[in-house]
Structure formats: structure tokens, C-alpha cells
Structure 1
């Protein structure tokens, strides 16, 4: 009876309103900021509950449409929220602006949140009224609480000091930034320390010619991605070298033009698990000799990589045979993925990769059978994916892969079936080969003949 009375007396009681303000603030932080603020109309007791939120997100569009909120309304809302905020610290601040705003407003908003020790800062700006005014660099450099920084802007300047420490930053993603040096930095050298940084990504970011060498001390860095198809100005004949001081990288990606000012990284001291390269060239602006020199410089960065993928068509010429001539062997390289590559370049690359385990092509290049005669035996190669390949090339490669487990090709091109020599069956057929896969099988006579050859000689 007594428990029944207790249940009855508590019926209809507002339990949430009696929670501490900071807990209600945490709950409201899961809502978009505009909805959290609207809870102020629930009752007098809820008028200022929203001021304890710790996640702030502002977007100047209506819902998920491209319709922009009236500028005066949006500005008033952002300033009101920041003015009444009671949280001593902020977990995250997200600003997504599609409209045109004075950089003064952005400066004040950023200053307001970094003064409250914000941990995650995401800013996306499409247009700024005064493009000559740089975004403030103090929020990057003075505050040590920042753990994630994501900036996507339209060609804004940020001044970089001679040295700076980012003790808590784990994620750095930048887009559209022009880094400029200070007037006191006559040497042009900059050192930036990131003791706990894990991810570094830049897209269309450039460094002014006054900065000669930027060293990034990031011992725990795992992912680096650099994408830059922006051209330098005709008056800029110098470029900045980015030197990454890191012991081991899990993933490195480079996408950009094959021009001196875009090969701007130094990874010579790092062990790299995986690297992906996509480059383009201006054929009318670069000579054969320059192409060889730049290609060689680029590939030297990956002498100790384990997985190497070339993204664009290498038939454009950037990956030349002579680019590999003076390079050391890729002793640690075990996985290579190519789209298109010139035949002589492929041979030069294979001679540099004695420990391959996986070799993948989109289209295998045309090669004379005699050109494969001097190829070494790839004792560790277990997977061979040849894309479109002729039977002649295929039968020349198989004897050099004694431990092959999987043979995959998109299309087996027509070849002279007399080349199927039942007296000289590749060793892998009787020992290790487990999978032979046609990704495109049309039932042509040469396809059937090769399939028969495999089934009669492979030992299951």
C-alpha cells in the first residue's frame, strides 16, 4: 500500500527539470544548437537551461536545402548564443557558412569559443567579404586544448610563426589555406610540433615562397594526405619543402601535379605501410629530363613502403623507366597496384621489387615475350591480378611465380594456343595454386583451351 502511494505521488512529476543544469546541458548538446535553444520556451525554469550546452553547431541554411537564412537573423542568433553561454568549456564548435560574411564576425566567434578551451573546431566557409583579411592565427597557436581542427575555406591566409607547439591536436584537416610567414622569419624555416597528432590532411593548401622549409615533428602520425592541383603564380619560382619527422606511417596519399612546387614533402626517415600516388602533368610545360628528375624525386620517398598504388593512368608518361634507374630496390614493397603502365616501365619496376606478394593491374601492358626472359623469380608472389592480358605474357610470367596461390584476370586476350606446353607446366600448378578466376568469360576457343590446361594440370 505504501509503495503504491509513492508511485501515485510521483505520477506526473518532472524528473528531468530537477537534474543539475550541467547534466541537462549535456543532454541538450546532442541536439542541433537551434533546437536546444528552442527549449527555452518550455517553461520559466527552462529559459536558460540551454546555456549549459557544450556542443555548438551553426549552419546558415534552412534544413538540408541551399536556402540561406537571413543574414541579420543568423548573426543575431550566433551572437546571442555565445553571449549567454554558461559552459566553462566547450567540446565542439561547428560553423558551416554558405553566405557572405565579414571575416570580423568569424574572428569574434572563434575567439569566443577558444577562450572556453574548445576541443574540436570545425569551420567551413565558402565566401568571406574581405578576402584580404586573414583568418586569425591565434586560435591555432595559443590554445593547447584543441584536439581536432578542420578548416575548409576559400583561399584565406594564416600566418605561421617560426615555431609552435600543438600539445593536444590529434586531427588536422585543412583546405584552401595559404600559409604565410611572419616578417621576423628571415630564414624561412618553421618548426611545428605535434606530439600526439594522428591524422594530417591538406587539400589545395599552399605555402608562401618566403617559407623555405617547414618541419612537422609528429612522432605518432599515422595518416598523411596531400592533394594540390593549384598552380603557383608565374612570379613564384621557389617552393616550400614539408619535412615529416615520423617513424612509421600507416597510410600516405599524394594527389597533384608533377611540378617542382608540388613535390613538397620529405618522408625519407619514415617507414610507410601504404602509399597511393595520383599525379598529373602538363605535357607542354615539362621536358622529358624534368619528368625523369621529378618522378625519381617522388619515388625516392617510398623506398621503404609496403603497399604502393598508382591511381591515374601512368601512360601519361610521368612514371618513366629512367625514373627508376637510379633508385634503390624497394626491398620492403610487397603489394603493388597499377592501372595502366608502359611496358618498359613495368619491367624496370619489377626488377626493383624482389619481394612482391601481390601484383594488381587494370590493363597489363603489351610486352615482347623476350623482354621477360631476364625477370627474376618472385618467390613470395602469391596473388597475380593482371586485368586484360595476352596468353603469351601470362604463360611467360607463371614460371616465375612458384608460390602463386591466386591468378585473376579481367580478360584473356587471344593468343596462339600452340603455346600451351603440357611438357612444361608452371610449378605453382602442382604445388600452391588454389584460385584461377576469369572476371570476363565469353567462351572463346582460346579461353576454353586455357581453362582446360589449368584443370588438367592444377593439383587440388
Structure 2
């Protein structure tokens, strides 16, 4: 009797495993999309049918928490390897590295993974280095043609002279991004579909903050500036907070 029950349990377990292995690829991808990336990658060891499934996850969220790397260069190199493994187009890439990483020369690694993104058709890009690490974003970022949502935090940007605009970007968020006021004006004006813009400058101050956009609907500002110039005919909502504590809200 006991042997019969044991056989039935093994049979049921085998049937369950076969069921998982034989799931349609689209269903498996949807399952993995609900898991943290670390767990999704681990499923590649389940069976041959799951080995490459995580490559098709439409959104990658990569956080440095728990990875245990010592330098920012090591982390960026890891991101590059993950991007190379991901062989499909990518709806979203979110990269968070808020730890107090030891600074090192990361320009070469950053160039590599930005160039890799050129082939991924990324629609949403989130780069968050928090308050402790400020990285200079390679100019190739401005060559990503499919971007629709861009959120940057703790970065340094230099808008290249050849920049022809983010033609599809409708949402842009800049927090603690080192960028000259004139470059902000130029960047916004180069986003003809922009509807939502947020800027948080921290300790950076501007004499004049100029925002010109024929399409902008919602604007949030937390910044230190002497004068604010708006040329935004479609603006519906404006929320402004100065670093000295003054704030205002217009709807």
C-alpha cells in the first residue's frame, strides 16, 4: 500500500513538472514577468524548456540590493551581461544602484550597455543612482529612438549638439540631475510629444529656468531659481516648490 502511494506521488509530481514544462512560451514569460529578476533568471535551471524563457521578459528591473558587488564598475558590467543575454525587444529597463559604491572608471562599461540598448527598442528607461553616486550618462542615450518615458536620478547629462530630439517621449523626470538651465530648455523643446515633466534640482541653482513646450500638460518643479519663464499653452497643472520652502499649486 505504501509503495503504491509513493508511486502515485511520484507520478503526480512528474505530471505537474511536465505540465509546467509544456506551458506555452507566452504563459511562461508572463509568469516570469511577475517575479523579481533574480528569481526569474533562476528558472533557467528548471528544464531545457525554461532555459531561455527569461530572455523574453519585456521589462527588466535590476537593483543592486543584495548583489554584494564592491564597485560601480562591477555592477555596470553585470548589467551589460544581462542585457546581452536578453535577446528580445524591451518595454522597460529600470536600473537602481543606490549603494555607496566605490568609484571607478565606468565610462567604457556604460558605453557598452547604452549601445546594447540601441538594439532593444526600449520604451521606458529608469536610471536611479540615488544621492551617493553621480554618473555621467553617455551621449548615446540621446540616440535611443523608441523612448517614451525617461526617469533619471543622480546623473550628469550633456546634451550633444547633434541631438535631434526624443520624438516619442511623453514623460520626462529629472531628479538631482546635473544639467545646465539652457540645456533643460533645449531638452524639453526637443520633446514634441511631452505631456508630463518633473524636475528636482537639490542643491543646484539656476538664475533663470525656462520651459517652452507646445504640448506640456503637467509640470512639477522642486528647484532653486530666481526667475521662472513658462511658454506652455496647454499646461493644466503646475506644482512648484522652492528650496526655501515656498510652494504653490495651480490646477
TM-score, normalised via structure 1 length? 0.42
- Structure 1 partner of 2:158: 158
Whole-Å Cα distance in 1 between the matches of residues 228 and 163 of structure 2? 16
Distance 1:248 1:223, change over 3 A: closer
| Paired residue total | 231
Q: How does 1:78-89 map to 2 (within 5 A)?
A: 78-87=79-88, 89=89
Q: How does 1:229-244 map to 2 (within 5 A)?
A: 229=224, 243-244=230-231
For 2:238, which of 242, 247, 251 is the aligned residue? 251
- Structure 2 partner of 1:224: 219
**Richer in helix (by share):** 2
Q: Is the 8 A contact 2:181 2:210 kept in 1?
A: no
Unaligned ranges ≥5, structure 1:
1-7, 231-238, 258-276, 280-307, 310-332, 336-460
Q: Is the 8 A contact 2:205 2:224 kept in 1?
A: no
Greater Cα offset, 196-205 or 158-167: 158-167
- Structure 1 partner of 2:246: 278
Q: Which has the higher contact order (CA 8 A, sep 6+)?
A: 2
- Structure 2 partner of 1:109: 113
Q: Superposition RMSD on alpha carbons, in Å?
A: 3.9
Whole-Å Cα distance in 2 between the matches of residues 161 and 207 of structure 1? 23
Q: Is the 8 A contact 2:92 2:124 kept in 1?
A: yes
Whole-Å Cα distance in 1 between the matches of residues 102 and 44 of structure 2? 29
Q: Is the 8 A contact 1:168 1:195 kept in 2?
A: yes
Whole-Å Cα distance in 2 between the matches of residues 31 and 174 of structure 1? 28
Q: CA deviation at 1:59?
A: 1.2
Q: Is the 8 A contact 2:218 2:235 kept in 1?
A: no
Unaligned ranges ≥5, structure 2:
1-11
Whole-Å Cα distance in 2 between the matches of residues 53 and 108 of structure 1? 21
Structure 1 counterpart SS, 2:18:
coil
- Structure 1 partner of 2:139: 137
Whole-Å Cα distance in 1 between the matches of residues 69 and 110 of structure 2? 17
1:148 aligns with 2:149: yes
Q: CA deviation at 1:176?
A: 1.9
Q: CA deviation at 1:82?
A: 1.5
- Structure 1 partner of 2:191: 194
Structure 1 counterpart SS, 2:176:
strand
Q: Is the 8 A contact 1:178 1:207 kept in 2?
A: no
TM-score, normalised via structure 2 length? 0.72
Distance 1:166 1:216, change over 3 A: farther
Structure 2 counterpart SS, 1:27:
helix
Q: CA deviation at 1:198?
A: 2.3
Whole-Å Cα distance in 2 between the matches of residues 107 and 12 of structure 1? 45
Whole-Å Cα distance in 2 between the matches of residues 35 and 254 of structure 1? 40
Distance 1:166 1:244, change over 3 A: farther
Q: CA deviation at 1:114?
A: 4.0
Q: How does 1:257-406 map to 2 (within 5 A)?
A: 257=244, 278=246
